[in-house]
Amino acid sequence: MNILAIDASGLAASAAVLSDEVIKAEFCVCNKLTHSETLMPMIDQVINASGMSLKEIEAFAVTAGPGSFTGLRIGVATAKGLSEAMEKPLIGVPTVESIAQNMAGFDGIVVPLMDARRGETYTGIYVFKGDELEVLREQCAVPLEEIINDVNDRGQRVVFLGDGVRVFRERIDKICTVPYYYAPADHRLQRAAGVAILAQKYYLEGRFTDAADLVPVYLRKSQAERERDNIRAHADA
């Protein structure tokens, strides 16, 4: 099966082509350019590098959230456009699960940490049974202390990864009481290859949709929505 996967949910943007369980090509950038500038040229390059054509892609996959509100909109809109234009199925992959996939084979629990701002993290708790990702705690938006307390209660060694490592590292060092590790830089951020691997599994399980039905999963309100709600609350007071 040929899958084109893209991710624009965080600091890095990436695209990858998976064909018959082989990553044919992957392209990733993490710089100051916006994802709207980099994503489509990246997709063109990764398709060309894979030796395939867009017509050979049988399904499209994208991280559906949580993550950067703007990045998610760009990624999902791009994937929906390709899916609709090519009349191929679309697979939405939970962002936190895609990050966890980077640590396939790790003997312990895997905890991605995305910086959700205001002291919170987009996170979840996962474990691998062989190469299969198993969800112990669904992705959620919680204060860092809540997820670390959960980790401590489980009493197993843990690996932390995601862009939240840079933000929360000092606090983790103070409150984590089980053996813990930080993923190396090449495994830390979102990667389209991981999105593609999970997407293939989800497709075989029937977890795909038409382009019109996929919506981003934000897990919480944007800053603009919170400000609007505050204004309304004060107006009603």
- What are the domain boundaries of the chain? 2-96+190-224, 98-188
Has residue 19 got a pLDDT over 90? Answer: yes
Q: What is the CATH number of domain 2-96+190-224?
A: 3.30.420.40
Task: Choose between 36 and 124: higher pLDDT.
Answer: 124
Helix (H, G, I), strand (E, B) or coil at 118: coil
Torsion of CA 166, 171, 175, 180, to 10 degrees: 10
- Please report which confidence band the pLDDT of residue 131 belongs to, taking 50, 70 and 90 as the band edges: confident
Q: Pick 131 or 148 by higher pLDDT.
A: 148
The yes-or-no verdict on residue 104 having pLDDT over 80 is yes
Q: What is the average pLDDT score of the chain?
A: 91
**pLDDT score for 230:** 46
Note the pLDDT of residue 37.
Answer: 84
Please determine, for residue 231, whether its predicted confidence score (pLDDT) is greater than 60: no
What is the C-alpha separation between 116 and 224, in angstroms, rounded? 15
Asked if the domains 2-96+190-224 and 98-188 are classified in one and the same CATH topology, the answer is yes
pLDDT at 221: 57
Give the 3-state secondary structure percentages of the chain, helix then strand then coil, rounded to 5: 45, 30, 25
Pairing of strands 120-129, 132-143: antiparallel
Which fold does the domain 98-188 belong to in CATH? Answer: Nucleotidyltransferase; domain 5 (3.30.420)
Which DSSP string do the residues of 183-237 spell out, in sequence order?
Answer: --HHHHS--HHHHHHHHHHHHHTT--B-GGG-----SS--HHHHHHHHHHHHHH-
* Residue of 53, 72, 71 lying closest to 4 (CA atoms): 53
| Global confidence as pTM | 0.90
- pLDDT at position 210 is 87
What is the separation, in whole angstroms, between the first and last Cα of the chain? 57
